Amino acid sequence: MKIAYNVFPFLFVVLLFIMNSANAEHNAINDTDVVIQPPQEKTVQIVTACDGRKKVIVEGYYEGEVMPVEKSRQVAQLLMSLMEFCEEEITAKLPESERTIYVSVNGLPFESVRDIEELPLILAHGDKPHTERQQRIWKAEMDRIIGEGYRLFHDPSLGKNGISCDMCHPDASNTHPETYPKFQTQTGKVALLRDMINWCIQNPLEGNVLADDDQRMKALESYIISTRAGKILVPGKH
């Protein structure tokens, strides 16, 4: 107990010192208030799009103030551009005196863009870049080309002798696309999967080779590769 009484005056001094320091900090902020204005205290006017998810913060104008025609056009144009990104929540800041636009997508930190054309660059890797709708479209397109490949793979029309790919390769087995490119010993050079597809079309199927950019070649490759999803790529494996 005795020790506690002796310590008390010392604690009181320390407390006073802390309080003074806090006051000093507060005074410092007040001194520089005119120079560094916090962002929320700037004069701004917020224009919100009809979907409620797109906002433009126009700096230098207070709420309800009528903007010059040129400024209004700029704001409208920016909002229209933002509306292209239906699902996203986007806030843009238009500074009073510079051309840069600051954009925040889905609550992420503001990034600067020189032009609204650059917006997709920011959006491509936002926190939810692929909407369900996008994914449905992409899947439909993938299914379409894989389905076309499946059809060709099971159809003797690629050749001229009634033989089709699936006869030797049920479920595209033994095509091992993950091993290409590889040195094909029988031809003495490095082959890609498409070279082997063409080899099969020309030989067992006795048909005509497909050009590399032939839609049928792309479809065949799509189907064959799709059957090996998850396999590790081992180019050159024999």
Q: Which residues bind other proteins (CB under 8 A)?
A: 154, 161-163, 166-171, 173-174, 176, 186, 199-200, 203-204
What are the backbone dihedrals phi and psi of residue 38, each rounded to the nearest 5 degrees, phi first? -60, 145
The least distance separating other proteins from the CB of residue 216, rounded to whole angstroms, comes to 19
3 state SS of 71: helix
Query: Cβ(156)–Cβ(205) under 8 Å?
Result: yes
Spatial distance between the Cα atoms of 113 and 123, rounded to a whole number of angstroms: 12
Residue closer to other proteins by CB (options 59, 166) is 166
CB of 210 to other proteins, least distance (A): 18
The two structure tokens encoding residue 33: 């208030």
Nearer to other proteins, 171 or 212 (CB): 171
Nearer to other proteins, 47 or 205 (CB): 205
In whole angstroms, give the CA distance from residue 142 to residue 130. Answer: 15
Give the HSE-up count for residue 38: Cα atoms under 13 Å, Cβ half-sphere: 4
Q: How far is the CB of 213 from other proteins (least distance, A)?
A: 25
Smallest distance, other proteins to C-beta of residue 214, A: 21
Quote the least distance from Cβ 168 to other proteins, whole Å. Answer: 5
Q: What SS3 class is residue 109?
A: coil
Nearer to other proteins by Cβ, of 74 and 202: the residue is: 202
CB of 174 to other proteins, least distance (A): 4
Burial of residue 56 (CB within 10 Å: 0-12, 13-18, 19+) is buried
Nearer to other proteins, 3 or 232 (CB): 232
CA distances from 26 to 22, 23, 32 (A): 6, 5, 10
Nearer to other proteins, 40 or 174 (CB): 174
C-alpha to C-alpha distance for 43 and 90, rounded to whole angstroms:
20
